[in-house]
Amino acid sequence: MMRDLLLTRTSLVWLLLMSATAVSWYMSTLPTVDVVIGGSSMILLIAFFKVRLVVVHFMEAGHAPAILRFTSEIAIAVACLLVLAFYHYGSQLVAAGFPVS
């Protein structure tokens, strides 16, 4: 019975989350990874993928009514796009009027 409780999709998701963390941790130690595969963008994408896994599987938005699930999914996608946009084009967005003192 214990096996039924532990061998679940949630546990699989947890292992995936731990592995993704290890990959990001390792990638950030590679000196040339930015040049080769845009490592930092990849690290941010992995982060938002992890956020989605937590929201859908741990917070159980995957079992929630469609309105909550879609609101969550859209919010995560918008947050990811905003963070990536400011990471890559921060100085242009500041020049276009985003306030910094």
Partner 1 sequence: MELAQEIDNTAVSVDAKATDKHIPGEAGVWVLVLGDAFVFVLLFVSFLAYRSQALALYSDSQNQLNMHLGAVNTLLLLASSWFVVTALHALRRELQRLAMRLFQLAWLSGFGFGVVKVIEYSEKFEQGITPLTNSFFMFYFVLTGIHFIHLLIGLGVLAFMMSVLKRSKPGERRLATLESGATYWHLVDLLWIVLFPLLYLVR
Sites of contact with partner 1 (CB under 8 A)? 1-2, 4-6, 8, 10-11, 14, 17-18, 21, 24-25, 27-29, 34, 39-40, 43-44, 46-48, 50-51, 54-55, 57-61, 63-66, 68, 71-72, 75, 79, 82-83, 86-87, 90-91, 93-94, 98, 100
| DSSP letter assigned to residue 31 | T
Task: Give the amino acid at 78.
Answer: V
Residue 71 Cβ vs partner 1, minimum distance, rounded to whole Å: 7
> Alpha-carbon distance 23 to 20, whole Å?
5
> Alpha-carbon distance 68 to 55, whole Å?
11
